[in-house]
């Protein structure tokens, strides 16, 4: 059974459609990468898939059940959202931020137990930031905050994670650390849906790619087809050229892979 499935989905605001006839499906261990220019509706799609805004048409099924019939707590136990940035109006510790996700597993008016605290710490450890548990998130770097957000989603203990441009504010090193973490999560059987403006992220992670262009047209297929230079140029409104940014990104991915290999050079 897929973790999430959408058919004939139309998304938008106040009756105005941004994209229509969207079809997607994610099973355990699969990674669906969403590509598209700014304003195409990527965040709107994620909010629709999680029931935060209504669909204009079509259906979404979460863990085999119609999204329209699920309560907020049932949705929170089936899918976790990782937003683009962590807005922290107060100096909560990293552990406190992650612990907030445990409310999806608590009864009404219940307090977090020692098991909930252990789950929060385990999620921080899994993202490689366990030693930062007691640090206020207001003192963390952008990359560390992003890891806290993913740890919070992990502590929610859902089989599906939806990540809205998780690498948008990260430097080159932190982007690749993030990709490493996401690869491991998918290898452990977690289903992932993530949006990005970096085609090389799709080349590295995607089981399939979903694209949305500024006209609202959608396409789903394998990464090898989605990342063809002509298709990417059309998606982002660029003139096709013999050499594209994707090819440069491919070289960057190759160079990172080279760094991970033991060197025989003296």
* Mean pLDDT lowest among 24-28, 114-118, 128-132, 237-241: 237-241
My answer on whether 34 and 128 are in the same domain is no
Token code pair at residue 33 = 């990468």
Higher pLDDT, 43 or 246: 43
How far apart CA 78 and CA 15 sit, in angstroms, is 27
My answer on whether 259 and 163 are in the same domain is yes
pLDDT at res. 241: 67
pLDDT at res. 262: 42
Taken in order 207, 61, 72, 190, the sign of the CA dihedral is negative
DSSP string, 26-51: E-TT-EEEEE--TTSSHHHHHHHHTT
| pTM for this predicted structure | 0.86
* Mean pLDDT lowest among 125-139, 163-177, 222-236, 242-256: 242-256
Last residue of some domain: 132, 157, 182?
157
Last residue of some domain: 126, 157, 188?
157
My answer on whether 251 and 173 are in the same domain is yes
Strand order of the sheet with strand 31-35?
Answer: 79-82, 160-163, 191-195, 31-35, 208-212, 218-221
Mean pLDDT of 140-147: 90
How far apart CA 16 and CA 185 sit, in angstroms, is 36
My answer on whether 174 and 134 are in the same domain is no
pLDDT at res. 65: 96
pLDDT at res. 249: 45
My answer on whether 129 and 208 are in the same domain is no
My answer on whether 194 and 74 are in the same domain is yes
Mean pLDDT of 121-127: 95
3-state SS assignment for residue 214: coil
Mean pLDDT of 76-102: 91
My answer on whether 252 and 151 are in the same domain is no
pLDDT at res. 181: 92
3-state SS assignment for residue 173: helix
Mean pLDDT of 83-97: 87
- Identify the domain containing residue 142 by its residue range: 87-157
My answer on whether 68 and 95 are in the same domain is no
Pairing, β 4-13 against β 16-26 = antiparallel
Give whole-number Cα distances, 53 to 12, 34, 170, 246, in Å: 9, 19, 28, 33
My answer on whether 189 and 244 are in the same domain is yes
My answer on whether 137 and 165 are in the same domain is no
The band of 266, judged by pLDDT with boundaries at 50, 70 and 90, is very low
My answer on whether 168 and 263 are in the same domain is yes
Q: Using only the alpha carbons of the chain, give its radius of gyration.
A: 19
CATH number, position 43: 3.40.50.300
Give whole-number Cα distances, 162 to 29, 47, 53, 114, 193, in Å: 13, 10, 15, 27, 5
Higher pLDDT, 265 or 51: 51
pLDDT at res. 138: 92
pLDDT of residue 232 exceeding 90 = yes
Instruction: Please count the structural domains in the chain.
Output: 2
Last residue of some domain: 129, 157, 185?
157
- Tell me the pLDDT of the chain averaged across its residues: 88
Tell me the β-bridge partners of 13. Answer: 16
């Amino acid at each position: 059974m897929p973790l999430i499935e959408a058919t004939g989905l139309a998304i938008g605001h106040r009756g105005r459609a941004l994209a229509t006839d969207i079809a997607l499906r994610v099973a355990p261990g699969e990674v669906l990468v969403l590509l598209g220019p700014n304003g195409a509706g990527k965040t709107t799609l994620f909010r629709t898939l999680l029931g935060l805004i209504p669909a204009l048409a079509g259906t979404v099924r979460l863990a085999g059940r119609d999204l329209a019939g699920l309560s907020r707590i049932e949705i929170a136990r089936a899918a976790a959202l990782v937003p683009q940035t962590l807005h922290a109006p107060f100096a909560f510790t990293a552990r406190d931020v992650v612990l907030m996700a445990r409310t999806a597993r608590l009864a009404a008016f219940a307090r977090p137990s020692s098991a909930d605290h252990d789950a929060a710490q385990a999620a921080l450890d899994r993202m490689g930031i366990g030693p930062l548990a007691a640090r206020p998130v207001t003192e963390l770097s952008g990359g560390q905050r992003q890891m806290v957000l993913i740890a919070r989603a992990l502590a929610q203990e859902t089989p599906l994670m939806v990540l809205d441009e998780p690498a948008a504010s990260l430097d080159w090193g932190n982007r690749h650390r993030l990709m490493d973490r996401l690869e491991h999560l998918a290898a452990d059987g977690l289903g992932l849906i993530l949006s990005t403006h970096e085609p090389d992220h799709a080349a590295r992670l995607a089981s399939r790619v979903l694209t949305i262009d500024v006209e609202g047209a959608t396409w789903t297929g394998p990464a090898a087809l989605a990342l063809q230079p002509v298709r990417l140029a059309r998606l982002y409104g660029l003139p096709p050229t013999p050499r594209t940014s994707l090819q440069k990104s491919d070289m960057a991915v190759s160079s990172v892979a080279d760094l991970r290999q033991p060197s025989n050079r003296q």
